[in-house]
Amino acid sequence: MLCRLEYELAMQSGDLKRALQSLVTLSNSKSIGQDIELSSDAIGVLSITASQQAKAEAVHGIVKFAAEFLNLIDAADATGQADIAGQALKRLAAAGAVEGALQPHELRGLSLRLATHGELTRLAVGVSTSV
């Protein structure tokens, strides 16, 4: 309960790093999203190394707080905090890699945010290299 309050207060005050830490604690996902790699068979398909059952159990906490992760990603992107958005995206993408873990509307939201984040990152790199 305390972490939930801490998350809410951090979001309201704009302390997105603390909000992410609270959300990670709430979802019990400290190690999830750290071992994501692109599949060599299908580029763009996210996979994590473990059995399908183990993946489902591992991402349960993230799924429970999917809406909060999406809100955090939006706030981080809106304030130019790409590192925080990236960390939240990794965890949510790990959950999305498990078939049936996220609801269809959450998957659409994740897809849009991944596309937007990739575009923002590409533009930031372009701007920094042209300066």
> Cα-flanking dihedrals φ and ψ of residue 45, to 5°?
-95, 125
Q: What local confidence, expressed as pLDDT, does residue 98 receive? A: 73
Q: What local confidence, expressed as pLDDT, does residue 20 receive? A: 94
DSSP 30-92: SSTTSS-EE-SSSTT-EE-SS-HHHHHHHTHHHHHTHHHHHHHHHHHHHTT-HHHHHHHHHHH
Cα separation values, 42 from 39, 53, 63, 110, Å: 5, 21, 24, 19
Tens digits of pLDDT across the chain (131 residues): 678 899 999 999 999 999 999 998 888 755 554 444 433 333 334 444 446 566 666 678 888 888 899 899 989 988 989 889 888 888 888 777 777 778 888 888 888 788 777 665 666 666 666 65
Q: What local confidence, expressed as pLDDT, does residue 119 receive? A: 65
Q: What local confidence, expressed as pLDDT, does residue 44 receive? A: 37
Flag whether the pTM goes above 0.75. Answer: no
Residue 83 CA to residue 10 CA, distance in Å, equals 17
Q: Do the strands 46-47 and 37-38 form a parallel or antiparallel pair, or are they unpaired?
A: antiparallel
